[in-house]
A and B are shown apart, each in its own frame.
Chain A
Amino acid sequence: MAPDPTSDPVHDLAGAASHDTAVAVPLAPGMGRRRFLTVAAGTAGAVCATAYLRPGWLVGTAHAAEVAAPSTSNVLVVLFLRGGADGLSLLAPVGDPTYPVQRPDIAVPARAALPVDATFGLHPAAPNLKRLLDDGRLAVVPAAGSPNPTRSHFEAQDLIEKGTPTNAMTVDGWLGRYLRASATTPAATLRGYSSGPGLPASTRGATVVASPDLSSLRLQSTERWASSTAQMSTALAAMYASGASVLRAPAASGLDLVTAVGSVVDDAEPPADWPSGFGPALWPIAKLVSAGLPVEVATADLGGWDTHEEMGSATDRNGRMSKLVADLDASLGAFFGALGPAADRVTVVVMSEFGRRIAQNGSGGLDHGHGQVMLVAGGGVSPGVKGAWVPLTDTDDGDVRVLNDYRLVLAEVLARRMRPVDMSLVFPGFDAGAPRWLGVTA
């Protein structure tokens, strides 16, 4: 990956917390004090904090805070359902007579499905998706996916995220290429944000921030009597201006990040009724976007979709698949709610590496399949079922056929909602032109 090598090694410290406001990680009561005492023991016990007030030890060089104007850019959020989410449960073809026959134990019953059109219904555990649909804010694309026939999780994810499903040699990801092709000046550190500990392959090739929660975007000073956050930033910038080259760009971005995020992370906890399962992955995105930070592309991984066995009845709230769908649905509902007025700026794409087989296996589950369902929700969406579909009797080796290339969905959302780019840079070798779009945007 090639993070922006041109970023200025001298970091503006505007907004960095002063030493007084630097907050340590929560510790059990008494701990901090005890360590204080241990370390201070043997020195003049009466040395008070002011004794350390010599230049440098304490006083940082924080500049006056520069308040950036809140971002008004549109935002693309890509939620990747890891493991191969079963599209025929999320968006059930209840009007297809083959469907219940192939899935005697796990099909969504027509009477329970939340109606979409004559063929499809949403899973009964997805009331928020239904509401988005009724509000004109949800498009669904059945028979979506990659032309590559692989049924391997890792190969499929890798190729889909590279955005070149027939070329495994690509080194960067489609979001990375988009971010590069549409780079802004000056570069905004938070343009790309990944909610989670690591970066998904789709973001390779651009400088993207990853964090598993909000509070970890804050730089902690050692102790209030030792070194301020601003001082630490200055020292780290100097240390990492040289040093191993693989570290230089991530370190520079890290320091930019601390500055950019500023006080937004002070209120880092989600509300008490925030959904648990997938909710925590969406909370930082909701918070950063609604606070007006310059996030334009955000990603999150939602795992657990590799349902080889015991998926349970679609009408049993405690069934394995029902719980997964309910979790996704509740998290998306809470996410759009928390965005407030910013919701109109945000378009969410939900995708997976592949769908699952049409027929259930001997253990009440589904093995790896091909065609999947993509969801496009939020601002700028043209609601309803989009793209081609054929009856389930017309299969790809027992799997849903891929009739709607996933890149057409992504390219349309990028082109209609995001900064203008040459789409052939984002999806090289693929005709993602407007005539082929599926109409997921209004």
Chain B
Amino acid sequence: MDPGTTTDTEAPSRRTLDRRSLLVAGGVAVVAAACAAPSSTSEPASPSTTPAPGPTTTTTRPPASTTTTAAPAAPTTPGTPGTPAVDPLADGDAQFLHHARRLAFSPTPEVLVELRRLGTTGWIDSQLAWSTIDDSAADAMVAAGYPRALWTPERIADDVTPWRAPFDLATATVVRATWGRRPLYELLVDFWGNHLNIDANRWPLITHMPAFHRDVIRAHATGTFSDMLVASAQHPAMLIYLDQASSRADGDQPPIENYARELLELHTVGLGGGYDETDVKEVAYLLSGWTVADARSGGFAFRSDWHDMGPLAAGGDVLGWAPGGLTGRAAGESFLRHLARHPNTANRLAHKAAVRFIGEHVTPTDAVVTSAAKAYTDNDTAIVPMIRTLLTSSAFRSSANLKARRPFEYLVACLRGARARWEPDMAADFLWYCNARLDLLGQRPHRWPAPNGYPDANRAWLNAGAMVNRWNLASEIARGAWWGASFVDPPGVLGNPAPATVGQAVDRLADAVLGEPLDAASRRAILTTTGLTQDAPWESWYPANSLLAYVLQSPQAQMR
């Protein structure tokens, strides 16, 4: 499982060639063409330390602090293709594979080519500058197949099937991850979407969820956390989900504490972050009157007639913030931005992102976390410097294979590994399969039933039932049983010309799915099922689907 031990039975250049030919053989459907794009235009296999050409335009501020951190990026000496890298943390096949698995859902040939072309740091920077990457193919798929993911709340409410909105949104998430060209951005969207989780399970939440996802999460995923937090606090979906929309302090009963509590406990400083029950009550007063302008069309409204500053008006502070003359909406916004900038928030977000992108072994006091928190703070809550610090650290580079794929990532990796092609005329079928299977596996996007987001610990996702579900998903995809993803084309994945031997067929499938050879035990186990030797001639009618299923089921395919 350690990529360092998988050194090559087959030269990388040869592999690249195989993949290229696969792409040529496979690129049929219009929408699928774009995901196979960039490799053909650049020199294939020369790693480079030069930054990504171009992508300096739209994204935020320069990641100022990252070069001075305690967790410096590993040297980016180019590894020569075909020669095992001496330093496992230096750029080379092992690191390209690790980056592709961890930051791009799976090592497709296209991703590996880009990584080789740009080098790991260049690739990360190009991905963080996601708006410069053309993703029109995935956009077109979403618009054609899952338009409710793009609609306004009002349009969804007026639709004859408004209940389809959360299904469209979940499927759009699968589509962007599987066929989009901005995988790291999609992973950040996933991270922040879980951080500010909303379970879109009821009316009218379902009508507001696509807008929340777009205007709060996607819009700010590489912006500043301060802006994201304020946007979330003023979005109808969050206001409705955590009952803030109906919290009023104008009667003889106190305002609802729900949002105030989760704001402190989950969204910002965290449990033990320096507040107590009295603070929760005070924040509930501070934010009373924050509500929805119109339950149908959305919008934020501050109702001064529902508002009462409560105990804070008489003095005192919460986490070092006092009104200082501010009142009403301005006071609430000032408090939110104070929370976003609070050191406990910085450390908590940096640690949470480190656990997500590096591993569960990282502790809040690790140097990589404090460096990332510093980058966040030094750049006034900007997300990119924090994430870049984490992803270019030696802690990240030495964390290969530590994380199990969560079900969503596993599903996406299976579809990518099988070279799935999305069929526009069967978009609804694909939607059904995605949602039903992610439900079964326990990770339908935007449906975690609590505001703390899907768990990010291996043990939460690995148990007997979960393993059986994963194996079944792999079988189902490998045998092409999903309507709307007619893809799965084992002869295509096998390569052209056809493999000469059964052993070569297994190796080709492993390379296509895993980007590396199978471990010896898995390879032997798969060969055993055939009842043939590895040197037996490959016959075109042999059930390649079955072999593909085993590769997708293998231990290696579970890790990222």
Q: List residues of A whose CB falls within 8 A of some B CB.
A: 1, 24-25, 27-28, 31-32, 35, 38-40, 42-44, 47, 51-52, 54-57, 82, 151-155, 189, 194, 196-199, 204, 207-213, 216-223, 225-227, 231-232, 234-236, 238-244, 246-247, 250-251, 253-254, 256-258, 303, 306, 308-310, 359-363, 365, 367-368, 397
Check B404 against A246 for contact (C-beta < 8 Å). Answer: yes
Instruction: Return chain A residues, CB-CB under 8 Å to B543.
Output: 39, 52, 57, 222-223, 225-227
Check B475 against A220 for contact (C-beta < 8 Å). Answer: yes
Interface residues of chain B: helix, strand, loop or mixed (majority)? helix
Check B469 against A257 for contact (C-beta < 8 Å). Answer: no
Interchain CB contact (< 8 A) of A25 among B458, B463, B481, B546:
B481
In the assembled complex, how far is the CB of residue B205 from the closest CB belonging to chain A, in whole angstroms? 13
Check B521 against A244 for contact (C-beta < 8 Å). Answer: no
Instruction: Return chain A residues, CB-CB under 8 Å to B462.
Output: 246-247, 250
Say yes or no for B59: interface residue by CB 8 A criterion: no
Instruction: Return chain A residues, CB-CB under 8 Å to B521.
Output: 238-239, 241-243
Given A223-B543, A223-B545, the answer on whether A361 and B467 have CB atoms closer than 8 Å is no
CB nearest to A306 among chain B residues = B258
In the assembled complex, how far is the CB of residue A35 from the closest CB belonging to chain B, in whole angstroms? 4
Per-position binary interface string of chain B over residues 446-464, scored 1 when its CB falls under 8 Å from any chain A CB and 0 otherwise: 0001101001001111111
Check A309 against B522 for contact (C-beta < 8 Å). Answer: no
Check B1 against A243 for contact (C-beta < 8 Å). Answer: yes
Check A56 against B532 for contact (C-beta < 8 Å). Answer: yes
In the assembled complex, how far is the CB of residue A152 from the closest CB belonging to chain B, in whole angstroms? 6
Q: List residues of B whose CB falls within 8 A of some A CB.
A: 1, 243, 246-258, 261, 265-266, 271, 277, 280, 401, 404, 429, 439-443, 449-450, 452, 455, 458-469, 471-472, 475-476, 478-481, 483, 486, 490-491, 519-522, 524-526, 528-532, 540-541, 543-546, 549-550, 553-556, 558-559
Interchain CB contact (< 8 A) of B463 among A47, A153, A209, A397:
A209
Question: A257 to B465, alpha carbons, bound, how many Å?
Answer: 8
Interface residues of chain A: helix, strand, loop or mixed (majority)? loop
Instruction: Return chain A residues, CB-CB under 8 Å to B449.
Output: 82, 303
Instruction: Return chain A residues, CB-CB under 8 Å to B442.
Output: 196-198, 212
Question: A359 to B521, alpha carbons, bound, how many Å?
Answer: 63
In the assembled complex, how far is the CB of residue B130 from the closest CB belonging to chain A, in whole angstroms? 31
Interchain CB contact (< 8 A) of A308 among B243, B458, B463, B550:
B243
Instruction: Return chain B residues, CB-CB under 8 Å to A240.
Output: 555
Check B257 against A367 for contact (C-beta < 8 Å). Answer: yes
Q: List 10 A-B contacts (CB under 8 A).
A: A39-B543, A42-B540, A82-B449, A211-B469, A242-B520, A250-B464, A308-B243, A309-B246, A362-B247, A397-B277
Check A238 against B528 for contact (C-beta < 8 Å). Answer: yes
Check B479 against A223 for contact (C-beta < 8 Å). Answer: yes
CB nearest to A227 among chain B residues = B546
Instruction: Return chain A residues, CB-CB under 8 Å to B483.
Output: 27-28, 31
Instruction: Return chain A residues, CB-CB under 8 Å to B549.
Output: 222, 226-227
In the assembled complex, how far is the CB of residue B266 from the closest CB belonging to chain A, in whole angstroms? 8
Additional A-B contacts beyond A52-B543, A362-B253 (7; CB < 8 A) = A43-B541, A152-B271, A153-B450, A246-B404, A254-B463, A257-B465, A257-B468
Check B246 against A363 for contact (C-beta < 8 Å). Answer: yes
Interchain CB contact (< 8 A) of B555 among A82, A155, A242, A361:
A242
Question: A35 to B484, alpha carbons, bound, how many Å?
Answer: 12
Check A227 against B261 for contact (C-beta < 8 Å). Answer: no
Check B243 against A365 for contact (C-beta < 8 Å). Answer: yes
Check A56 against B531 for contact (C-beta < 8 Å). Answer: yes
Question: A163 to B144, alpha carbons, bound, how many Å?
Answer: 51
Question: A209 to B443, alpha carbons, bound, how many Å?
Answer: 17
Interchain CB contact (< 8 A) of A198 among B256, B460, B471, B522:
B460
Instruction: Return chain B residues, CB-CB under 8 Å to A212.
Output: 439-440, 442, 465
Question: A225 to B491, alpha carbons, bound, how many Å?
Answer: 17
Check B546 against A222 for contact (C-beta < 8 Å). Answer: yes
Given A227-B543, A367-B256, the answer on whether A362 and B463 have CB atoms closer than 8 Å is no
